Structure 1
Amino acid sequence: MTTLITICDTCKRDDWEARASGETDGETFAALIEAAADGVDGVRTRRHSCLMGCTRGCNVAIQGAGKLNYTVGEFEPSEEAAEAVVGYAALHAQSDTGQVPYKQWPQAIKGHFVTRHPPLPSDD
């Protein structure tokens, strides 16, 4: 089953104005995640403007139909963080419930979980 990584492309970390490169931290992180996810089975990415977690930027939602869904945040837009998000999403995709045992989590994602959402009920 496919896991979707939704990346906030408007996130700006606290020091963004001082570093203003013309690109938001979210856009930088989105590009890194998209590159890391390229060719990973069961993982897709999309960008979305504002996930409303501004105090915890950079924010990402990890979602799958019929599974637990997660919001993770407070990342620096780095390759290591992007690879951790994609690594976790790949494990999420392989899980029937969306729950991934803690011991399997990539190290760089630990401490970044913000929320967990139960699966939406089916229409049945």
Structure 2
Amino acid sequence: MTHRITICTSCRHKGNTCRPGYELISRLRAAIADAGDAIAEDFEVSGVACMAGCDRPCTVAYHGSRKATYLFGDIDPEVDIADLVAFARQYAVLGDGWCSSVDRPGKLRTATLARVPAAIMAIEDSGVRAS
């Protein structure tokens, strides 16, 4: 596995005890396995207790070695699976993980909470100082 998709298992919609992260993990694993291409071999899907996106449940992160990390919010396990699988395909072939919001599939264009540069990129660019 060279990539990871991490899903928050603590996220809850306000006034609700349901934690959609568990359902999302199950549905996304099944969708990736059914995709019929290399993403099933390239991606691991796992959960984590909290990613601090509580105001925008359910949160999902994409990580890859030497790649930018993405955090998406407001993900619905019943509606957004196709967009998550499409982004996995896209992310897998992005050398540094970097892409514009207009290039992301469907809802992920507007559901981005953060894009964090790869640590290796930050180290290589450490000579650049913010003013």
Q: Place the TM-score, normalised by the shorter chain, in its bin.
A: 0.7 to 0.9
5+ long unaligned stretches in structure 1: none
Is 1:62 equivalent to 2:56 in the alignment?
A: no
1:40–1:90 CA contact under 8 A, matched in 2:
no
SS in 2 for 1:74: coil
Amino acid at match of 2:89: A
Higher relative contact order (CA 8 A, sep 6+): 1
Name the counterpart of 2:82: 83
2:69–2:97 CA contact under 8 A, matched in 1:
yes
1:91–1:100 CA contact under 8 A, matched in 2:
no
**When the two structures are superposed, what TM-score results if normalisation uses the length of structure 1?**
0.81
In the TM superposition, residue 97 of structure 1 has moved relative to its aligned partner by 1.1
5+ long unaligned stretches in structure 2: 125-131
In the TM superposition, residue 104 of structure 1 has moved relative to its aligned partner by 4.0
Amino acid at match of 1:14: K
**When the two structures are superposed, what TM-score results if normalisation uses the length of structure 2?**
0.77
- Mapped to 2, the partners of 1:89 and 1:46 lie a distance apart of 14
Rg larger for = 2
- Mapped to 2, the partners of 1:102 and 1:114 lie a distance apart of 11
Q: How much identity, in percent, do the aligned residues show?
A: 25
RMSD across aligned positions (CA)? 2.3
Is 1:26 equivalent to 2:25 in the alignment?
A: no
